[in-house]
Amino acid sequence: MSESKKFILQERDIPTAWYNIIPSMPVKPEPMLHPGTMKPLQPEDLYPIFAEELSRQELNVTDSWIEIPEEVRDMYKIWRPTPLVRARGLEKALDTPARIYFKNESVSPVGSHKLNSAIPQAYFCKKQGITNITTETGAGQWGAAMSLAARHFGLELAVYMVKVSYNQKPYRRSIMQTYGAEVIASPSMSTRAGRKIITDHPNYQGSLGTAISEAVELATSTPNCRYVLGSVLNHVALHQTVIGLEAEKQMAMAGDYPDIVIGCFGGGSNFSGISFPFLRHNFSGERHTRFIAAEPESCPKLTRGKFHYDFGDEAGYTPLIPMLTLGHNFSPANIHAGGLRYHGAGAVVSQLKKDGLIDAVDIPQLETFSAATLFARSEGIIPAPESSHAIAAAIREALRAKEEGTSKVILFNLSGHGLIDMTAYDSYIAGDLTNHTITQEEIDRNTADLPGK
Amino acid sequence: MSESKKFILQERDIPTAWYNIIPSMPVKPEPMLHPGTMKPLQPEDLYPIFAEELSRQELNVTDSWIEIPEEVRDMYKIWRPTPLVRARGLEKALDTPARIYFKNESVSPVGSHKLNSAIPQAYFCKKQGITNITTETGAGQWGAAMSLAARHFGLELAVYMVKVSYNQKPYRRSIMQTYGAEVIASPSMSTRAGRKIITDHPNYQGSLGTAISEAVELATSTPNCRYVLGSVLNHVALHQTVIGLEAEKQMAMAGDYPDIVIGCFGGGSNFSGISFPFLRHNFSGERHTRFIAAEPESCPKLTRGKFHYDFGDEAGYTPLIPMLTLGHNFSPANIHAGGLRYHGAGAVVSQLKKDGLIDAVDIPQLETFSAATLFARSEGIIPAPESSHAIAAAIREALRAKEEGTSKVILFNLSGHGLIDMTAYDSYIAGDLTNHTITQEEIDRNTADLPGK
């Protein structure tokens, strides 16, 4: 163990290849299905939606390492490598024998890890000659990242932002506009999917599932336009592995190796990013690290969802994905961790969970804000409400280590800062926040009628 | 010149001593005066207001280097050293032969350079056994930094926040509260100075000068309480020299040396921080760098102020400082760069300007937002409205270099990010922002009746 607080890499240490976990998985995920033919998806089936290179990455089950283009690494240099931090302040506040580390992805110019995938997605679109792209965003972290990446590569971007966040988080909307993107509150009148849901439910405040439907519809009906997505999919998790690959080098600098790795969980992008590079050493038998995905109590697909084929969006425009799901029509409570309000987990994470290779916990909203406030006061950084789920899970483990008198090494991903989520902290300080559980009956009802086999 | 984008130091490169410029100045500043006796101030005169060690630092004209305590360096490690960045994106956007670098102080957990002085101020208060502290804040950058530092060292903090910012920037208020500070809109009914101005001008939206008066009054009338200030004073500039000392090492890594160094200017903290370490090589005759302080057109103390003794606050509670001033009752326009709305410059910077050792420019608000937007789109980081003054000045110099066909090396300080100032960007995008000039008559009127000799 070193006495340093931060473990700092140089630009030359930015990974040169992304890690694709699929070839090494003991049991590979079931294939995604074409919803029309119900046959396993081929890359060509995805070309109308995604850039071709991204479609190939999505279905690549053979190459463990995929080279990062120089143009992408150059742009990573704006803020990468990110620091690994020993959370000595938090350890002291908890009086725990555990050694807690966090990977600080909040230092990106948009304040989250989302830029790791936004950049290659914009790059591969541009390389193919695509001029316009669409996407969705919940709390706005992904939309802000995509806006910056699109501007850098000279692409026009339209972002469908979940209506509740559009109204609650105007700063994130302004950030996207400052970078030059168009931002539309979803559901909107600009798409068939949006019009239908507005007509059926006039006061509907939107969901990620609906915003995805709108963005996919606009992309597939606009010339030379494609859609980009910030989570759930394999190629997004792939790009995010730069987090774990850097962390691996930094843990070695610290002279430690994690017993437990934790990430918050919405669709899987940051959890996969920090976990997969470490998980490969479990697969090889070298290590026995425990992996914990921390999801909101109000949206517990990993702990309480059904393993089944389901759509990635509300209207059913996407391929069928084998996932742990609460049903694509599930409408999560309006918790402040908007980025975790998604009904399903990606295919790889779902399979890993099914096979007992990763764990999951679901955490009540008040516990996450209590953890966030302790973290802010002991480590100085105000965390995003999403990331606070990882902090809460890390605190649970650190307290367990204290109880058991064992000196565990805990690593979690601080996926973003919360400086643009201060209304959420205001509500917490004012005592206005509540927890949101869902009943088994609600889960059963939403998953009773899932598509496919 | 290196091909890197960022120049990254390790924790061991955090400076071990602050640089005190006063002993090396060709002409030393006039002494500060006790407003009652009109005699040069002694450290003891300051003890009722400031911690004793800070009072001694304030009046230290003999030691060029002052050791940074280990506890302070440990806390600097939360985010320091900060990166030096080659702004290749901005250079390309401007098509300039100039090489532009910026020191990225926005990576601190509160988003600005202010933490560099907040930490030692809290530390020296704590060390003396002080339990309560007060301060003022304009846009909230200093208040946020002080809240974090106070919490770390277990001090109770009350922050008087300029009323217009209290209402316009609720996120910064929430940040201070999340760290555990008490925040009061100024002018308030809690002090004699506040009550007087509310009575005389019921709709007064506050100023830094008034907030300082309130904070000083509360500190001096509360047991075991002292006041801390985020700019203007010598000891604040001293602490901020960590910026320039790191930048010096990083410019060497880049194989370059600045021809021009630029900082935005409110009271002087970040300009002094980046400039003074480089300025010492001008004093010794080794180098001939040009230094430019970039202030708002609406608050032009360096370019148009009067050199005279004046109070640091509106009510006249502080010692008399020899300064370039617009008059301590001057009420600047409500520009979005709230941190630059201050009537005077610190004694050292005022003397340097008087002696022609530094330059200053004043910049219209619209030019700063145009520069900020170009910077956001080319470098990825949305800058604070304050820092945008430095960017605008750097762009002027880069365009001049292009016109002249010379390859200047320009270094500016990015003192903070603007993620919590997005309402300002909204106004700019909507076309609602205007410039604010002031007339010579207004300056003459405000400086007609200055105190002292």
What's the first-to-final CA gap in chain A, in angstroms?
Answer: 51
Write down the CATH number for the domain with range B5-14+68-111+235-446.
3.40.50.1100
SS3 track for B235-284: HHHHHHHHHHHHHHHHHHHHCCCCCEEEEECCCCHHHHHHHHHHHHHHHC
Residue type, B87: A
- Mean pLDDT, range A152-156, rounded to an integer: 97
Interchain CB contact of B356 with A (< 8 Å): no
| A154-213 residues touching B, CB cutoff 8 A | 170-171, 174-175, 177-180
Question: Which of B111, B179, B422 lies nearest to residue A174, judging by beta carbons?
Answer: B422
pLDDT digits (tens, 9 = 90+) for B288-316: 999 999 999 999 999 999 999 999 998 89
> What is the rounded CA–CA span in Å between residue A126 and residue A341?
30
Phi, psi of B310 (to 5 degrees): -155, 165
Minimal C-alpha gap between B385 and chain A (Å): 13
Q: Which residue of B has its CA nearest to A80?
A: B6
Give the start-to-end residue ranges of the domains of chain B. Answer: 5-14+68-111+235-446
- Bigger pLDDT: B17 vs A168: B17
Residue A304, Cβ density class (10 Å: 0-12 exposed, 13-18 middle, ≥19 buried): middle
How far, in whole angstroms, is CA B154 from its chain's centroid? 25
Report the distance separating Cα A4 and Cα A1, nearest Å.
9
In chain A, which residue's Cα lies nearest the Cα of B13?
A8
What is the three-class DSSP state of B91?
Answer: helix
CB contact under 8 A, B4 and A420: no
Could you report the per-residue pLDDT of B141-200, keeping only the tens digit for each?
A: 999 999 999 999 999 999 999 998 898 888 999 999 999 999 999 999 999 999 999 999
Residue B453 has pLDDT above 80, yes or no: no
Interchain CB contact of B425 with A (< 8 Å): yes
Q: Which residues of A touch B166 (CB under 8 A)?
A: none
| Cβ pair B14, B80 in contact under 8 A | yes
CB contact under 8 A, B177 and A425: yes
- Give me the residue from B4, B77, B179 closest to A11, CB to CB: B4
The pLDDT score that the predictor gives to residue B1 is 46
Cβ-proximal residues to A120 (8 Å cutoff; 6+ apart), any chain: A54, A68, A69, A72, A239
Contact status of A4 with chain B (Cβ, < 8 Å): yes
Model pLDDT for residues B81-91, shown as the tens digit of each residue: 999 999 999 99
Question: Looking at residues B57-70, what average pLDDT do you find?
Answer: 98
Percentage of chain B exceeding pLDDT 90: 92
In the numeric block, the tokens 């946020």 are attached to: B144
A-chain CB neighbours of B429 within 8 Å are 174, 177-178
In DSSP notation, A150-216 reads HHHTT-EEEEEEEHHHHHH-HHHHHHHHHHT-EEEEES-TTSHHHHHHHHH-TT----HHHHHHHHH
Q: How many contacts does A have with B, using Cβ atoms within 8 A? A: 121
Q: Which tokens in the block code for residue A241?
A: 């592995």
What Cα–Cα distance (Å) separates residue B357 from each residue in A22, B289, B294, B390? 63, 10, 15, 18
Contact residues on chain B for A170, CB-CB shorter than 8 A: 422-423, 426
- Contact assignment for B425 to A379 by CB distance below 8 Å: no
Angle between helices A141-152 and A170-179 (to 10 degrees): 10
Q: Which residues of B touch A373 (CB under 8 A)?
A: 178
> Is the Cβ pair A423, B376 closer than 8 Å?
no
Nearest-by-CA chain A residue for B145? A380
Q: Is A419 on the interface with B (CB under 8 A)?
A: yes
Q: Are strands B6-7 and B409-414 parallel, antiparallel or unpaired?
A: unpaired
Q: Which chain B residues are within 8 Å of A148, Cβ to Cβ? A: 380
Model confidence, pTM: 0.94
Q: Chain A: nearest CA to B373, how far in angstroms? A: 7
For residue A2, the model assigns a pLDDT of 57
Per-position b or e across B178-200, b if 16+ CB within 10 A of its CB: bbbbebbbbbbeebebbeebbee
Distance in Å, alpha carbon of A147 to nearest chain B alpha carbon: 9
The pLDDT assigned to A175 comes to 96
What b-and-e string marks burial along A53-78, b requiring 16 or more CB atoms within 10 Å of the CB?
A: bbbbbbbbeeeeebebeebbbebbbb
A93 touches chain B (CB under 8 A): no
B382-399: per-residue pLDDT in tens?
999 999 999 999 999 999
The per-residue pLDDT of chain A, averaged, comes to 95
The pLDDT of residue A41 is above 80: yes
Q: Does B45 touch chain A (CB under 8 A)?
A: no
Is the pLDDT reported for residue A1 higher than 50? no
Contact with chain B for residue A92, Cβ under 8 A = no
The ipTM assigned to this model is 0.91
Is the link from the previous residue into A81 a cis peptide, with omega within 30 of 0? yes
Q: Do A152 and B380 touch (CB under 8 A)?
A: yes
B92 vs A: CB within 8 A? no
Give the closest-approach CA distance of A170 to chain B in angstroms: 8
Q: Where are the beta strands (DSSP E) in A79-155?
A: 84-86, 99-104, 132-137
